[in-house]
């Protein structure tokens, strides 16, 4: 019997809302799939396109950006930055051949552990159906950083 494909989802969550939502899901014993690996940012507005691209380049099948509801941002309005970046990123990634569903945005307050768990579960299944991303970068090795103008240089053996 073929092994089921287990998607790898990277979730960028914000310290004040969505990360706490994930936390409260955990302490409430609400199950959500281990396919998602959470990374905590202080604010969803800290989301940098490079984080998303690096996630895909390093094997993620999907990326979730999650932050406070519009109007509730701990830093007032930076989650709107996350929203704009998310919308523009999706368009650009589509041109690169990455399906729009592989980048998702979720607003979740600290109290919304149930919603967080449910959405992550839904998303994992959606990506499972979509299949692996299999992003080839022709031997990309995200290791030694040796004086490149962009700060990255892969030295091939």
Partner 1 sequence: MSGKPKFAMYWAAACGGCEIAVLNTNEKILDVDANFDVVFWPVAMDAKYKDVEAMEDKSILLTLFNGAIRNDENEHIAHLLRKKSQILVAFGACATQGGIPGLANLSNTKSMIDTAFHTISTDNPDGITPQTTYKMPEGDITIPTIYPAVKSLNQVVPVDYFMPGCPPESHQIAAVIDLVIQVLQGKAQLPLTGAVIGAGNSSVCEECTRTRNEKKIKQFTRIQDFKPDPNLCLLEQGILCCGSATRSGCGAVCPKAAVPCVGCYGATEDSPDQGARLLNAVASVIDSRDPAEIEKILDGIPDPAGMFYRFGMAGSLLRASKAAWKE
Does residue 29 come out as left (phi exceeding 0), alpha (psi in the -120 to 50 range) or beta?
Answer: left
Q: Is 50 near partner 1 (CB under 8 A)?
A: yes
**Chosen residue from 15, 54, 121, 126 binding partner 1 by CB under 8 A:** 54
Q: Which is nearer to partner 1, 5 or 137 (CB)?
A: 137
- H-only helix segments in the chain: 18-27, 49-57, 78-96, 113-130
What's the closest the beta carbon of residue 34 comes to partner 1, in angstroms? 26
Nearer to partner 1, 23 or 154 (CB): 154
Scan residues 91-150 and list those touching partner 1 (CB under 8 A): 91-92, 95-98, 135-138, 140, 146-150
Task: Between 32 and 61, name the residue whose CB sits nearer to partner 1.
Answer: 61
CA distance readout (Å), 16 to 20, 69, 98, 143, 149: 6, 11, 30, 32, 35
């Amino acid at each position: 019997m073929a092994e089921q494909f287990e998607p790898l989802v990277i979730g960028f969550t914000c310290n004040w809302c969505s990360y706490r939502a994930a936390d409260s899901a955990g302490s409430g014993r609400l199950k959500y799939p281990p396919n998602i690996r959470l990374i905590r940012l202080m604010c969803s507005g800290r989301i940098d396109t490079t984080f998303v691209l690096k996630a895909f380049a390093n094997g993620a099948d999907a990326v979730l950006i999650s932050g406070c509801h519009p109007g509730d941002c701990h830093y007032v309005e930076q989650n709107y930055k996350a929203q704009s970046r998310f919308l523009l990123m999706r368009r650009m990634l589509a041109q690169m051949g990455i399906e729009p569903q592989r980048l998702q945005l979720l607003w979740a307050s600290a109290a919304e552990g149930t919603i967080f768990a449910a959405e992550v579960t839904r998303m994992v299944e959606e990506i499972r159906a979509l299949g692996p991303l299999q992003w080839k970068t022709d031997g990309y090795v995200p290791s030694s950083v040796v004086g490149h103008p962009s700060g990255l240089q892969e030295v091939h053996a």
